[in-house]
Amino acid sequence: MKILLLGSGELGKEFTIAAQRIGQTVIAVDSYENAPAMQVAHGFEVINMLDGDALDKIVAKHQPDFIVPEIEAIRTERFYDYEKQGITVVPSAKAANFTMNRKAIRDLAAKELGLRTANYRYATTAQELHEGVEAVGMPCVVKPLMSSSGKGQSTIKTIAEIDKAWQYAVEGSRGDVVEVIVEAFVKFNSEITLLTVVQNNNPTLFCAPIGHRQERGDYQESWQPAKISDKDLYEAQDMAEKVTEALGGAGLFGVEFFLADDGVYFSELSPRPHDTGMVTLAGTQNFNEFELHLRAILSLPIFEITLEKAGASAVIAASENSENPSYSGLNKIASLPKTDFRIFGKPTSRPYRRMGVALVNDTLDTPIEEVVEKTKEAAKLVTVHP
């Protein structure tokens, strides 16, 4: 089968490696050359994926069996036409359209499915953001409708911060949608990602919940399994199954939840492998999230997902701008027991850009806090140089 991968970052690279292992052909697409997935794919294209005509041309050129989006900034309304041509859009054209825009997925979850979410409003101007903040109260969180990895996200605690938050959100937005969502701050105890695997002809499966910590809206560490009560886990699984069923298609979804005193809150959903799910590269499961996504796409039956080890991932980030980054400390991290790492091969760096991850695993009876701490210390051994 031929897969057209739209977006070629580190998640796309691991997906491509998984596809290569079982004989699939991958054409990697991104807006710049030598993106991580391009380094391991059969071929590549460099285009602006918000240019619908350019997107149409490469689809016509390669005639893929599957189109697999990895990022948000794509002219996703074209996906409906590709489905009519007989191409499988992953997970579906509807899923890709709804989840590339926070407005569509939030309204589906809250208004159509009745899932518990934070109180929210939308704004297309700074004045509307002022009105939205007044409606939901402070503190609150502002996010662009189209963004990823925390870009454009900020917390408002005072009226004086509203205009700055608006400008930051507009600057951090992907695509051509100038609109933000403002959410009431949920007083949560923790947050989890529930990797949900929807199969074409077999039951929906769930990975063990993944905990994570964020800074600037981007994850810094993730760990599996996360601590969660049976009641909250059942509620999260029920919500995840409802929203993925409404979106249709097959594949792995990263569904995010807040765990609060009054129950579980639906937060966000990605119709593809999730950055916090890179912890599965530590060997925590019988299949990592990229292998699960691929098998679900290809309708290869997944009998079960088993938790094999406790594990954690920690981000290796750049601190400076560089056109040719290099790395030191790899010999140090490689010498640690039960430890691994990935360097993504990004051709340039900038402050806070995720350039790699450290990975540690241990037995299931090892306190997860210990595993996380070891992973954080391991990540500190690697330095990204300009």
Among candidate residues 10, 256, 291, 340, the one labeled active-site is 256
- The 8-class DSSP code of residue 366 comes to S
**Has 235 been annotated as catalytic?**
no
| Environment class of 14 (CB within 10 Å of its CB; exposed 0-12, middle 13-18, buried 19+) | buried
**Has 21 been annotated as catalytic?**
no
Among candidate residues 16, 92, 148, 322, the one labeled active-site is 148
Helix, strand or coil, per DSSP, at residue 228: coil
Among candidate residues 52, 116, 134, 150, the one labeled active-site is 150
If we measure between CA atoms, which residue out of 200, 195, 144 comes closest to residue 168?
144
Query: Count of CB atoms within 10 A of residue 316's CB?
Result: 24
Among candidate residues 154, 267, 276, 349, the one labeled active-site is 276
Among candidate residues 16, 249, 354, 375, the one labeled active-site is 354
**CB-based contacts of 328-331 (< 8 A; 24+ apart in sequence):** 328/382, 328/383, 328/385, 329/381, 329/382, 329/383, 330/382
Please list, in sequence order, all residues whose beta carbon lies within 8 angstroms of the beta carbon of residue 286, skipping any fewer than 6 positions away. Answer: 304, 305, 306, 308
Phi, psi of 105 (to 5 degrees): -70, -35
**Has 339 been annotated as catalytic?**
no
Helix, strand or coil, per DSSP, at residue 19: helix
**Has 275 been annotated as catalytic?**
yes
Helix, strand or coil, per DSSP, at residue 324: coil
**Has 295 been annotated as catalytic?**
no
SS3 content of the chain, % helix, strand, coil (to 5): 35, 30, 35
**Has 150 been annotated as catalytic?**
yes
**Has 222 been annotated as catalytic?**
no
Distance from C-alpha of 147 to C-alpha of 100, rounded to nearest angstrom? 8
Q: Where in the sequence numbering do the catalytic residues fall? A: 148, 150, 256, 268, 275-276, 354
